[in-house]
Each structure stands twice: as structure tokens, then as C-alpha cells.
Amino acid sequence: MSLIITPEDPKPVEYIPNYVWRLNYDFEYEHGGSLQYDVGSLLDTVRTNSELESNNAFSTASASLESYAPHNWECLQKFFYIIHKQLIPIWDHWGYFNCHITPRESWINIHKRGGITTEHLHSPCPMVLSCYLKAPRGSGNFLIRDPLEYHRFGSPQVPEQNLWKEIPVQTNDILVFPGWLKHATQPNNTDEDRVVLSINYEGH
Ligand SMILES: [Fe+2]
């Protein structure tokens, strides 16, 4: 009787970096503190909406470089200090030069019922953070367009299928990804706001 050796289960070989990371930080947005106040004040100040926002969505992206943009808010300085230590390993994992990284631009997106951010990218920004200050259940997840879309042409599948990957998000999640990664949001299907802080980092 011959001995049948059961092969081990297939194992993936990691050869490209992981380009999407999830961090967590308790922003305490709904605790009635200064963060929610500052978000409201910024929305009242900025009059120009982004063309990427659709249906019932609003953005302060047009003021992302201003001195009153969120990355300059006193109430967020503790967050930036803490999160910085977690961004360094991701920066290194992506093979970027060893340099000093700082937030350069930031803005707030608010999506009411039906609101979406349409497909876009942040190039040439090397690192983007999407921070979910408030993401009620049903308010829409994050969508990533397959960056290998064109490379998959010719393989036994339809590249147009499975083109978008849904990434579930909830309040206090932070998604970290490179600026070249195309993304969008699902619509907010609730009567509560979805509130997102977006930050573009730079290295120098
Ligand atoms: Fe974005």
C-alpha cells in the first residue's frame, strides 16, 4: 500500500506591497467637542463645492491648502502626533525614500442621504488618509478601482467585472493608501451625515 502525501494548502507569495491599510483613532466627533464645532465652522466658510461631490454631498477641498484647513486645527494636533508613528512603517513598506512626512492638504467631506464622492485619485500625492469621523451603518463604504484593470486584459475573465472592491468602513476608521489609487464612495443611504476628514501627506 503506497503512502499518499497530502500537499499543503496553497500559500500566497507576497511580492507587491499592500497598498491599503486600516488604522483606528477615537476622534470623539460626536461628543460635542471642538472638532465638530470646527467642522461646522469650516463648512460655513467654504462656498465652493468640489465637482467630485454629487447628489447631496459637500466638500471643503477648495480650501485644503488654507491656514484654516483641518491639519492646522489645534483640536487635531494630538491625532497627528499619534498617527505619525503609525504612518512611518507604511511609508517604508511602500519603498518610499526615508524622509520627513507631513500633512500638506486636508479637507472635510459631508455626505447626506444619496451623497457620493465620484471616482478620482490624488496623484501626485504619495500618501492619503481618509478618516471617518462619522460613518453610520448604511452610510456607504469605500470603493477601490482595480489598479490592474488593464493588465488583466487577455486573462480568462472579464476585466470590467470585479472592477471595484468594496472596503467596509465605520466610525473612527482611517484608510491609508497612495494617491494613484482610484477610489470613490457608495451613496449614503441613511438620514445621518457621513463625515470624512481627508489628508494628503507629502515627504521632503
Ligand atoms: Fe479621495
Ligand 1 centroid to Cα of residue 200, in Å, is: 9
Ligand 1 centroid to Cα of residue 47, in Å, is: 20
* Residue 15 placed within a domain: no
Ligand 1 centroid to Cα of residue 54, in Å, is: 13
Give the range of the structural domain holding residue 33, as residue numbers without chain letter: 21-203
Ligand 1 centroid to Cα of residue 189, in Å, is: 20
Ligand 1 centroid to Cα of residue 143, in Å, is: 10
CATH of the domain at 151: 2.60.120.620
* Residue 13 placed within a domain: no
**Which residues, including other chains, have CB under 8 Å from residue 187's CB and lie 6 or more apart?**
55, 111, 114, 115, 116, 140
* Residue 14 placed within a domain: no
The predicted pLDDT at position 1 comes to: 62
Q: How many domains does the chain have?
A: 1
Q: What is the pTM of this model?
A: 0.93
The predicted pLDDT at position 158 comes to: 83
* Residue 4 placed within a domain: no
* Residue 8 placed within a domain: no
Ligand 1 centroid to Cα of residue 9, in Å, is: 38
* Residue 10 placed within a domain: no
pLDDT level of residue 3 (50, 70, 90 thresholds): confident
Ligand 1 centroid to Cα of residue 171, in Å, is: 17
* Residue 6 placed within a domain: no
Ligand 1 centroid to Cα of residue 141, in Å, is: 13
* Residue 152 placed within a domain: yes
Ligand 1 centroid to Cα of residue 3, in Å, is: 56
pLDDT level of residue 49 (50, 70, 90 thresholds): confident
- Mean pLDDT, all residues of the chain: 94
Q: Tens of pLDDT along 150-178?
A: 998 889 988 788 899 999 999 999 999 99
Least confident of 17-26, 43-52, 140-149: 43-52
